[in-house]
Structure 1
């Protein structure tokens, strides 16, 4: 759910103190929840309970990573990749704004990146260092999320809200893991799904990239955007129903 959009639609944004308290609780909980999702793949008991071929492949790749010869970083390639990334971001958010759906900008950014990768596969294959560049910005992104988590403000003004958010996140994660076990969904897929639904598409993509689950980056973005589309309307409708 897009907190800013729903708070405006429901009138919550008119109450500055409540909005700040809710945002503080949301940011702090999101930080802890993302950290938990990043830690869970290393919990052997959980991976035995919910098997994951993706996590096993990641561990196998990591074990032999030092043996692989990595191409030297090409500054020209990095500059071009950075330019293409900026161009995708600009084009994606501009298209979303022109269509009147600016909150879905990340979806159009993803589409732009996919178009470039699929229309120019040979040229993109020659550009080395893209994953390393992405990892760098992923760490910056998580750092920004952590910096935005105002724990002091949350403790002073939003402890009840934080408790409610903790309960929601706990139930959500329990249901996701139970569903993954019941329907035999890969644990890595379940964790990315959880991130996309509970936090958003950007963090889901960053988590998948950070864990080297490259095949889950795009699905994480798509599912997160779909969650925005559905949950925003559901949240507003629920607020109207509860009065």
Structure 2
């Protein structure tokens, strides 16, 4: 029995709560300076954490699954309709280096965390393999490694809860860092400066209100935005599914085949690529569509709400508090090495934070952060670079999991 005020099958109420929280967060962000500094994304996320931890809403529901399955894929092309796709490819190459260095942070953190806690947490070799894969590429890799290592169901559930809580906290930290003077002095931050200048030009308006000026949007714009996004999602997912089915993959085939399958069978990489191709061939069509950014951003705010919901503090305290320590060490090393490498190689603060986000949460959460902060030019590049984590994450997880097993 669910011990929550609203049950997981009360779909209309849960949809309503998600939409209302997203709407409230956007309004607060644009109306009040304190909310603008916190950002609507954090308001949405923290609101969801409070509702789930006070047992008003459940931590799992088909509604949340629908947001991951339908809302995120639709938001991605909508947000790319008005970007400079040529600049995206140039930026992607630059960000790939810091992304790979950030991945090394995950690997180092996992190894150190494993040897510190292996005598206290059962099946940590399997959990370590799963979490290292997840914190290089995202939740897709976690699912793959869970099937591979066949860890006990209760440990997997505890790891998921620890991961969800850590992700929510980490997202809040990453969103806060660009507002702190210490990091602004230490790193170049051109995208933050641009956002600040836009806020100053807005004559007292919040940054969000200055950015989201009222647009001339018609019914036809809404129809073309949503219809085109759905078309791109359908075609991309069908192509990815077809290619995944015909390209060999698994333990019995070579690294090269698995790499090809991971690249061409990935829904989001194909979706991003197909959207770029459409932008290249039909630039005028997309230039004449208004409102796609607004619709896509609202959908992303629904996502912010959903990623906060599973962060159940009572569950992790009850089931496996040491797992939270385990993932905290991994995430801390990832961020520390990302910032250190970024400083030495003179990367912008925004690029460093986004690749760290892409490692820990995957390209979708990183893109969501770029959208929330108004770093428009980095949305496309982090989506492209973040999908590389899907590919290398499984190899990192497999290698570490098998090595850790020799110490258990």
TM-score, scaled relative to structure 2: 0.56
User: What's the CA shift for 1:72?
Assistant: 2.2
**Corresponding position: 1:86 with 2:248:** no
For the residue of structure 2 that corresponds to 1:73, the secondary structure is coil
Structure of greater Rg = 2
Q: Which one has the bigger helix percentage?
A: 1
User: What's the CA shift for 1:152?
Assistant: 2.4
Distance 2:278 2:355 in 1: 25
Which of structures 1 and 2 has the larger relative contact order (alpha carbons within 8 angstroms, sep 6+)? 2
Q: Does the 8 Å contact 1:197/1:223 carry over to 2?
A: no
1:19 is matched with which residue? 156
Deviates more, 1:185-194 or 1:222-231: 222-231
2:175 is matched with which residue? 38
Closer/same/farther in 2, CA of residues 237 and 192 from structure 1, 3 Å limit? same
1:4 is matched with which residue? 143
1:75 is matched with which residue? 219
For the residue of structure 1 that corresponds to 2:309, the secondary structure is helix
Where in structure 2 are the equivalents of 1:46-65 lying within 5 Å?
46-65=183-202
2:275 is matched with which residue? 113
Runs of 4 or more consecutive aligned structure 1 residues displaced over 3 Å after TM superposition: 65-70
TM-score, scaled relative to structure 1: 0.92
1:136 is matched with which residue? 298
2:241 is matched with which residue? 97
Deviates more, 1:193-202 or 1:145-154: 145-154
**Corresponding position: 1:160 with 2:322:** yes
1:241 is matched with which residue? 403
Q: Does the 8 Å contact 1:24/1:158 carry over to 2?
A: no
Deviates more, 1:123-132 or 1:145-154: 145-154
User: What's the CA shift for 1:61?
Assistant: 2.0
Distance 1:82 1:62 in 2: 29
For the residue of structure 1 that corresponds to 2:266, the secondary structure is helix
User: What's the CA shift for 1:170?
Assistant: 1.0
Q: Which structure 2 residue ranges, 5 or more long, are not aligned?
A: 1-133, 135-140, 245-260
Q: Which structure 1 residue ranges, 5 or more long, are not aligned?
A: none
Equivalent of 2:351 in 169, 183, 189: 189
Q: Does the 8 Å contact 1:24/1:150 carry over to 2?
A: yes
Count of residues in correspondence between the two structures: 241
